[in-house]
Amino acid sequence: MDAPTYRLFGSELSPYSVKVRSYLRFKGIEHQWLPRGPATAAEFQKHAKLPLIPLLVTPDGQGLQDSTPIIERLEAAQPEPSIHPDDPALRFLSELLEEYADEWANKPMFHYRWSYEADCKSAAGRIAAQVAGEGAAPEQVAKAAEAVAQRMVPRLSFVGSHAGTRETIEGSLRRVLDTLEIQLGTRKYLFGDRPSLADFGLWGQLYECWTDPTPGKLINELYPTTWRWIERMLDPKVEGGWDPWKSVHWGIERLLEAEVAGLFLPWSAANAAAVAKGDAEFTVALEGKPFTQQAQKYHARSLAEIRRKYVAAKDAPGLDTILSATGCKKWLAG
């Protein structure tokens, strides 16, 4: 009898699903990839507490959801090969960048996918084909695609995507790609020649961008080093060791200063304040421009979690110096 394996319910269009799948591949954890659809609906409903993917069902039948806790639980059970840099300061920076990726880098992905006509058509069609299942008639898939687009486009407000924020969101993606193109020129992954937690988080979002027409064309034409990393992360491997801070600092500092301290943490703090006051919407100044979106309770919890991790890591040698210099510390210290 075959040994029981993990069962990962997800979608190729879900950044959090492919993030967990990439991690499982890296760790060599036997698993089945099960696209969510009619054929898997009954088992998904049996184990899922929420109608969200990814859902990882363990060999003993437990259903785990939310990509970061899934990875943290598996990493504790199977710590090697580790996804955490040996240097405690760099480990926290990796965790911080992963949090940024999950909560902010999702905005450009979602924005391009549902704001641009070609991208909307492409994504809605792929989602509809998955939901309809194998053998569905073309007219059934087309009708389902229309329903998907009608449901998803209004959700742009959830990530703050509208005409007033387009420049901020699209500029964020370009800055990340510009940084990665240089950072990955002399190493295979963000912190060296082995993938970190930050790689998995950021890759999930950029992989989805790469599969959509508009940002995919941008990446393929202007960022060859980055798209090779995107392909590499489909099945990442240990190809060397961790680099020291003096080697990786340029790209990591740029992401921390411009993206994490410049956009993500002030946005996250404003969201948490709005949630605490019971406000349905909030506006925060980012790069000198107003950024307005709906308040999200989950994001408020995620800020509390990264602050908790900071408290646990703050005595790591050199960490506060880096966080202070990049402008992150004031937000993390609350």
Domain presence at residue 82: no
**Whether the Cβ atoms of residue 263 and residue 286 lie closer than 8 Å to each other:** yes
Domain presence at residue 140: no
Per-residue pLDDT at 136: 84
Domain presence at residue 138: no
**Is residue 256 over pLDDT 50?**
yes
Of all helices (H) and strands (E), which one includes residue 214? helix 213-222
State the average pLDDT over residues 26-46: 95
Average pLDDT over the chain, rounded to an integer: 96
Per-residue pLDDT at 2: 56
Per-residue pLDDT at 1: 40
Q: Are residues 71 and 93 in the same domain?
A: no
Distance in angstroms (rounded) separating the CA atoms of residues 258 and 177: 13
Domain presence at residue 33: yes
Domain presence at residue 120: no
Q: Are residues 192 and 268 in the same domain?
A: yes
State the average pLDDT over residues 181-199: 98
Per-residue pLDDT at 132: 83
Per-residue pLDDT at 133: 80
The count of domains in the chain is: 2
Percent of the chain past pLDDT 90, that is, above it, reads: 94
Give tens-digit pLDDT for 100-125.
999 999 999 999 999 999 999 999 99
Per-residue pLDDT at 3: 55
Q: Are residues 28 and 96 in the same domain?
A: no
Per-residue pLDDT at 15: 98
Q: Are residues 182 and 328 in the same domain?
A: yes
Domain presence at residue 144: no
**Is residue 150 over pLDDT 70?**
yes
Q: Are residues 72 and 92 in the same domain?
A: no
CATH code of the domain in which 44 resides = 3.40.30.10
Distance in angstroms (rounded) separating the CA atoms of residues 330 and 328: 6
Last residue of a domain, one of 58, 77, 96: 77
Distance in angstroms (rounded) separating the CA atoms of residues 242 and 188: 10
State the average pLDDT over residues 138-160: 95
Structural domain boundaries, residue 51: 6-77
Alpha-carbon 193 to chain mean position: 20
Least confident stretch, 18-22, 127-131, 322-326: 127-131
Q: Are residues 304 and 182 in the same domain?
A: yes
| DSSP summary character for residue 268 | H
In this structure, which long-range contacts are made by residues 67-71, counting pairs with CB atoms below 8 Å and at least 24 apart in sequence?
67/16, 67/17, 67/19, 67/20, 67/102, 67/204, 68/98, 68/99, 68/102, 68/201, 70/20, 71/19, 71/20, 71/23, 71/197, 71/200
Q: Are residues 61 and 168 in the same domain?
A: no
**Whether the Cβ atoms of residue 244 and residue 87 lie closer than 8 Å to each other:** yes
pTM over 0.95: yes
Per-residue pLDDT at 134: 77
Per-residue pLDDT at 71: 98
φ, ψ of residue 80 to 5 degrees: the values are -120, 140
What is the number of residues in the chain? 334
Here the tokens at position 212 are 């959509």
Domain presence at residue 20: yes
Last residue of a domain, one of 55, 77, 99: 77
Which three-class secondary structure state does DSSP give residue 236? Answer: coil
- Residue 333: C-alpha distances to residues 106, 275, 303, 312 (Å): 24, 19, 11, 12
Q: Are residues 328 and 276 in the same domain?
A: yes
Q: Are residues 249 and 100 in the same domain?
A: yes
Q: Residue 7: left (phi > 0), alpha (psi -120 to 50), or beta? A: beta
**Quick one: pLDDT band at residue 4, thresholds 50, 70, 90?**
low
Percent of the chain past pLDDT 70, that is, above it, reads: 99
Per-residue pLDDT at 235: 98
Per-residue pLDDT at 285: 98
Give tens-digit pLDDT for 297-322.
999 999 999 999 999 999 999 999 99
**Quick one: pLDDT band at residue 230, thresholds 50, 70, 90?**
very high
Q: Are residues 94 and 69 in the same domain?
A: no
**Is residue 96 over pLDDT 50?**
yes
Q: Are residues 65 and 95 in the same domain?
A: no
State the average pLDDT over residues 211-239: 98
φ, ψ of residue 291 to 5 degrees: the values are -125, 115
State the average pLDDT over residues 123-144: 90
φ, ψ of residue 78 to 5 degrees: the values are -135, 80
Per-residue pLDDT at 82: 98
**Whether the Cβ atoms of residue 120 and residue 153 lie closer than 8 Å to each other:** yes
Give tens-digit pLDDT for 257-284.
999 999 999 999 999 999 999 999 999 9
